Amino acid sequence: MTREQTATDLLDVAGETFAAEAGITLEDKPAPLYRLLVLSVLLSSRVQAKLGTRACRELVESDLGTPDKMGAATHQQVHDALDRAKFLSKDQTADALIEGAQLVTDRWKGDLRGMRSEADGDAGRLADLLTEVPRLGPVGASIFTREVQAVWPEFRPYLDGKATEGATAVGLPQDADELAALVPADDLARFAAALVRAGLSDDVAEQVGT
């Protein structure tokens, strides 16, 4: 099997972004970008991805999917939504999400496209800005950048260590540029998510024939 075929099979098997799994239709607009930020905070905690995506869905369904709504929410409202999703670390996470929403509102007027402009295509600068958000560390910054490259193409290709680790599991090279050449540019966010899943699940590797 060629590398290109392996990449195509991997996209077929596991090429759903984590944003899509969380019910986010990602666009370069304030609400979906903020929801991706929330998802990145949730996935920064050492929880299973399914817990984080489920918690993000619950927050959005609880009308907490915009920075103004989250920033105006009480600790108990956010805590209860996280509890319904069976999320761990509910107290600290609820406080962090409210504080983060206030930061987004105060610094970027509720619109993360302002963060995009500040980063100016520099993934390192974007990571610095992202890690100013409470409870969003380097892991969460990488998650956000992997996913947002779908709508912020100036950050392509972004294939971090988690993605390149997954590449090994399916017999693909670890070099980010070599990996990026295997799929169309518009599929890079999906490919990154699929590679991460390949590193987390033996079942994915088995389904692509390795």
| CA–CA gap between residue 96 and residue 172 (Å, rounded) | 38
Averaged over successive runs of 10 residues, the pLDDT of the chain (210 residues) comes to: 94 96 98 98 86 97 98 98 94 97 98 98 98 96 98 97 93 94 97 94 76
pLDDT of residue 65: 98
pLDDT of residue 142: 97
pLDDT of residue 209: 62
Burial of 13 (0-12, 13-18, 19+ CB in 10 A): buried
| CA–CA gap between residue 20 and residue 40 (Å, rounded) | 13
| CA–CA gap between residue 58 and residue 65 (Å, rounded) | 9
Instruction: State both tokens at 51.
Output: 């817990």
Q: Please tell me whether the overall predicted TM-score, pTM, comes out greater than 0.75 for this model.
A: yes
Shortest CA distance to 41 belongs to which of 124, 137, 115, 145? 137
Domains of the chain: 3-17+157-197 (no CATH), 20-149 (1.10.340.30)
pLDDT of residue 184: 97
Q: How far, CA to CA in Å, does 163 sit from each of 105, 158, 173?
A: 31, 9, 11
pLDDT of residue 203: 82
Distance, CA of 46 to chain centre: 14
Cis ω before 138 (30° cut-off from 0):
no
| CA–CA gap between residue 19 and residue 37 (Å, rounded) | 10
| CA–CA gap between residue 17 and residue 51 (Å, rounded) | 15
